[in-house]
Amino acid sequence: MHRIIRLAAIAAIAAVLASCSHKVAITAHRGYWNCEEAGFAENSIKSLEMAQKNHFWGSEFDVHITSDLVLVVHHDAHINGKRIHTHDYADFKDYRLKNGEKLPTLDEYLTQGEKGGTVLVFELKAQYDKQHEDYMVDKSIEALKAHGLYDPKKVIFISFSRNICERIAALCPGFTNQYLEKDLTPDEVYAKGINGIDYHYSAFDKNPEWIGQAHKNKMSVNVWTVNDRDEIKKMADLGVDCITTNEPILVREILGSKEKK
Ligand code: MG
């Protein structure tokens, strides 16, 4: 009986120590949090600037391609009912984000990104064919190099497209490259040469052992998009490396000294 109590006590201490030693990174989702409330728009230059000023570890943004092959920063695949990939960039010249900014090109967004202060969490959106996805990856690498941002300390890649992740893995060794689609276990993702996962909260809630499985392969583990206090605590305790959130101030408060800077 005493031995069982002692072992339980040792296990409890070990759990607390493991919990305290693990630093968790915060990624502000789509540039900033509660953008509309704050008077910005998600994926705007202003939203990235605010993430930089607040020194969140990461700031996420989404990249699409127009029919005349301009890379633009936007979340949805369409703007005012027009599909981005079937329209030229000029077709969006009058479009304004909710904070009055025009649709940022990747080049304009990276000009702000150069100012530093946050890791650029670069989401390459899945396209309708491999040719466009490959082109997007190649142009993205070119743009990052042109802005002095082609550096694994300054940028990580995420995508729902396995083709995009596999191309990044082949062309950008040393960069964190996270697969977003929760259709594969971490072991299966690793077997495809992809070194990270960024799964929805529900995936880790259902399969908490995936975090250990990923870490055994030295993969990075990111979870999206966690805004609820209890869910934030749960994910931090499970040992994720990064929490993507619309509520980075709340995550900062909950993590305290466990926040990875
Ligand atoms: Mg995204």
pLDDT in tens, 132-186: 999 999 999 999 999 999 999 999 999 999 999 999 999 999 999 999 999 999 9
Q: For the chain, what is the mean pLDDT? A: 92
pTM for the structure as a whole: 0.91
Please say if the pLDDT value at position 13 is more than 50. Answer: no
Q: Is 170 helix (H, G, I), strand (E, B) or coil?
A: helix
96-126 tens-digit pLDDT? 998 899 999 999 999 999 999 999 999 999 9
Mean pLDDT across 87-98 = 96
184-229 tens-digit pLDDT? 999 999 999 999 999 999 999 999 999 999 999 999 999 999 999 9
Q: How far does residue 146's CA lie from ligand 1's centre (Å)? A: 23
Q: How far does residue 127's CA lie from ligand 1's centre (Å)? A: 14
Q: How far does residue 75's CA lie from ligand 1's centre (Å)? A: 6
Q: How far does residue 124's CA lie from ligand 1's centre (Å)? A: 8
What pLDDT was estimated at residue 41?
Answer: 87
Q: How far does residue 225's CA lie from ligand 1's centre (Å)? A: 10
| Longest CA span, the chain | 75
Q: How far does residue 148's CA lie from ligand 1's centre (Å)? A: 23
Q: What percent of the chain stands above pLDDT 90?
A: 86
27-40 tens-digit pLDDT? 999 987 666 667 77
The whole domain housing 188 covers 2-260
Distance from the first to the final alpha carbon of the chain: 44
**Do 74 and 84 touch, CB atoms closer than 8 A?**
yes
Q: How far does residue 97's CA lie from ligand 1's centre (Å)? A: 17
CATH, residue 229: 3.20.20.190
Q: How far does residue 44's CA lie from ligand 1's centre (Å)? A: 13
Specify the number of domains making up the chain.
1
Confidence of residue 22 (pLDDT cuts 50, 70, 90): confident
Q: How far does residue 215's CA lie from ligand 1's centre (Å)? A: 23
Contacts of range 32-36, beta carbons closer than 8 Å, 24 or more positions apart = 32/59, 33/245, 33/246, 33/247, 33/248, 33/249, 34/246, 34/247, 35/98, 35/99, 36/98
